[in-house]
Structure 1
Amino acid sequence: MKSTKRIVSMFSAAAIVCAAFVAVVPVATAASSGAVTASERSFPATTAGRRNLLNEATSTEVEEDSNWGGIETLDVPKTKSQAEKDAEAEQERQAAAQRQAAAQRQADSSATTSSSTTSSSAASRSSTRTSLPEVPSSKNGSAIAEYATKFQGYPYVSGGNTPSGWDCSGFVQYVFSQFGINLPHSSSSQAMAGVAVASLDQAQPGDILANSSHAAIYIGNGMVMNAMNPSQGTNISSTAVFSGSYSIRRILE
């Protein structure tokens, strides 16, 4: 009997617990449902127009007292477009072409002038060669000296012995040949021709002054007529033209 009562008591307790659970669940559900409902009402749908965010981002309006840290005063270099760069390059190319053309014209003009001068000089020498000085009828030293001076300005050519070009001994050889006297084409050989003269004080116009490297015709007063070098040609100079000692030789009185 006690057992039966105990079982009945247990079932009764279980029934009470179940009833309590069933009562609590709707309340929680209701509470949960209320929270959800309240949450939905806190975010109502809206039809208000949105602001133009792009215009706001590109706005150039700045407050007068705005401070940008000095960036507004930066000196930003200006860049050139490709078209501007191409135009400048073309302008520089044309200017360079003009400068080159001007330089070429100047060079051509200089070459023409030089050619004209050379031609005139050549023509002058040719004319001079075709009208050689007349040989004096006298056959003495003074006549030789006088005749030699008429070749002033004639060209120097190494190894030559004609008015178109001669070297020192070739000039002496040519002048004496016009008086019927044959001399070797060598300064050292000419230094032994004729009769020796003791000193320059005793030298006479028409004497030969010569050593192993140079030869000349004495014209008096310590001066000689000689073919000097390519730049100076045939000219009058002092006896200082000789380096070292020299012989004085008399061919004609």
Structure 2
Amino acid sequence: MRTKLQTGGQLRPVDLARRHGLSTQAVRNYEADGILPAAARSPSGYRVYTPRHALALRAFLALVPGHGHRTATAILQAVHRDAVEEALRLIDDSHAQLLDDRRTLHAVAAALVELTPVEQGRGDTFVGPLARRLGLRPATLRKWEAAGLVQPRRDPKTGYRVYGPADVRDAQLIHQLRRGGYRLDQIAPLLTQVRTAGGVAPVAAMLENWHARLTARGRVLLSGAAALDAYLTDSAPPTHP
């Protein structure tokens, strides 16, 4: 039967810190935040870490790129509360978000491919119905208008904003790109390209970059899961025949 890593060797805070390019204060903070299990103390009061702490720190640092600092922290905190199911649910949530982002990317690509010239004056709508259709607040549409991304005309009698088919298309595209993580200043030139070119060719590089970022995120999620599994395996109580 293999020897558990945590049974052999002692590590100082500086040992963990140097191994992972951190400060000793960061290591102490991670312990205080529950990212690392509580350390034993030497007779003189100094923290004593073990290879098990090194595995926990390695797992946390591997989880951060895919899940973010807050979620990675919550995952390790749950593990140290013996709430492994909660930790796994948090991991599932990140994978579900990645899947949703992939679907969004595919939707954006499909929307761009299917862009066709539209007739002005048909299928007009107002800010409230359009906001409900997209699941947004009307203030968000007005913010996009202030940024120059959508340009609804005004009804000459009422002064209400009137969104024609092209405006609705632009709003849908903005909404999808915002979900994909693009800032308003990044979306503006894309919309200009779409309006002038009327097709997907000018934005092919953007779609390829987005796809590459999703692939990279999928890989780091796998790396984080592998590191966490190694920590959980080492932390599990030994089984006896």
The TM tier, using the shorter chain, reads under 0.3
Q: Which structure has the larger Rg over C-alpha atoms?
A: 1
Normalized per residue, the structure richer in helix is: 2
**Higher RCO, Cα 8 Å, sep 6+:** 2
